[in-house]
Amino acid sequence: MSEIDSLKSQLESLQAEALAAFAGAADLSGLQALRVQYLGKKGALTEVLKGVGKLAPADRPVIGKFVNQTKQALAAALDAAEAELAIKAKAARIESERIDVTLSGRKAGRGALHPVQQGLDELTAIFSQMGFAVAEGPEIEDEFHNFDALNIPPEHPARAMHDTFFLKDIQGDDGEPMLLRTHTSPVQIRAMKHFLAEGGEPPLAVVAPGRVYRCDYDVTHSPMFHQVEVFKVGRDVSLAHLKGVLQHFLSAYFEKDVAIRLRPHYFPFTEPSAEVDIGCVFCAGKGCRICKGSGWIEVLGSGMIHPNVLKSVGIDADEFSGFAFGLGVERMVMLKKGIPDLRLFFENDVRFLSRMGVMK
């Protein structure tokens, strides 16, 4: 074979080999390595060109043209392969990042009102609809409002019964001891004083929902719980008004006609005083485990506001009278919803809360 034919066939097989290699390149960096291998300064084509020197001068342009063609063919094939790999890489990336836009989204959990909050709202709303004004008082109280003004003097045994949390490091404006209020009854005093200071004249009817504290913890007692205090002061306010309001409110709250019973009792801030029972909502008065067979369940304390309480805020007890009652919210909610254990309210188990809570 002549020198020139041998070079030509070398170039042909080089081209065939290179094209096959380009086609088989797995990625862009592999292709780049092949570009160097075939077209680089020390590449295969350069190697073949070294043979050109041995040719007769007349043959050199012929083979030169052939070399150029091969070079162009390889360069073009490389560019094409590169473009193809770039498209493939892009497609692979799109595939790997694919998201299914038709999938349904994650649900954002919807909150519910805590059953105690719901009870507070319901109870307050019933009285609000009857024309009682809503009032709130401070949870940190002084002895005057929590006890003295409510006719519970310092030596009174009722003070001991209240299991009061006294605050060691806080004192009132006049240096008096401060405490966490043990009931919402002090709001009676604050609301009456405020009303009078604003130039008001009885009648005055107030509902006061709020948090109260007692140093007590067992199945039926929590150190923090909620009460609603209700009272009305005016001319000729009588026990009949108290009974009528109780009858209406208890039936509205339990959403049925409940029987009520007033049992004589003692509270320092009312005279006469009564505990109020309702016909058992679980057995309709027949007698069951919950009402301990009596058919009655105690729900609240009530009475006619003691003259000393009215006097403590400067209301003339000969001219005005009033009724008052106070109830425990947790207890009312337990009775309405059949919740057996007070502690469920405070354990924050979402299974309980989402079952009992009302979506708003």
Is residue 270 helix, strand or coil?
strand
Per CB under 6 A, 232 contacts ligand DAH: no
Per CB under 6 A, 185 contacts ligand DAH: yes
Per CB under 6 A, 208 contacts ligand DAH: no
Per CB under 6 A, 186 contacts ligand DAH: no
> Cβ 185 to ligand DAH, closest distance in Å?
4
DSSP string, 159-181: HHHT---EEEEEE-TTS-EEEE-
Measured from the CB atom, the residue of 173 and 218 that comes closer to ligand DAH is 218
Stretch that binds ligand DAH, among 57-65, 301-309, 310-318, 342-350 (CB under 6 A): 301-309
The mark string for 260-289 relative to ligand DAH (x by CB under 6 A, - otherwise) is -------x--x-------------------
Per CB under 6 A, 183 contacts ligand DAH: yes
Number of residues that bind ligand DAH (CB under 6 A): 11
> Cβ 310 to ligand DAH, closest distance in Å?
13
Closest-CA residue to 311 (of 157, 150, 186, 184): 150
Q: What are phi and psi of 275, to 5 degrees?
A: -90, 145
Alpha carbon distance 289, 77 (integer Å) = 93
Q: Which of 202, 209, 210, 301 binds ligand DAH (CB under 6 A)?
A: 301
> Cβ 341 to ligand DAH, closest distance in Å?
21
Alpha carbon distance 327, 250 (integer Å) = 11
Look up tokens 């009460």; give the residue. 227
Q: Which of 118, 151, 164, 302 binds ligand DAH (CB under 6 A)?
A: 302
Alpha carbon distance 141, 183 (integer Å) = 10
Per CB under 6 A, 345 contacts ligand DAH: no
Q: What are phi and psi of 196, to 5 degrees?
A: -70, -40
Question: What b/e string do you get for 36-59 counting C-beta neighbours within 10 Å, with b at 16 or more?
Answer: eebbeeebbbeebbeebeebeeee
Q: What are phi and psi of 185, to 5 degrees?
A: -55, -35
Measured from the CB atom, the residue of 43 and 119 that comes closer to ligand DAH is 119
Q: Which of 195, 213, 253, 325 binds ligand DAH (CB under 6 A)?
A: 325
Measured from the CB atom, the residue of 22 and 296 that comes closer to ligand DAH is 296
Sort 165 into a burial class: Cβ within 10 Å, 0-12 / 13-18 / 19+: middle
Per CB under 6 A, 229 contacts ligand DAH: yes
Q: Which of 43, 137, 210, 326 binds ligand DAH (CB under 6 A)?
A: 326
Other Cβ atoms less than 10 A from the Cβ of 291: the count is 20
Judged by the rule CB under 6 A, the positions of this chain that interact with ligand DAH are 183, 185, 229, 267, 270, 301-303, 324-326
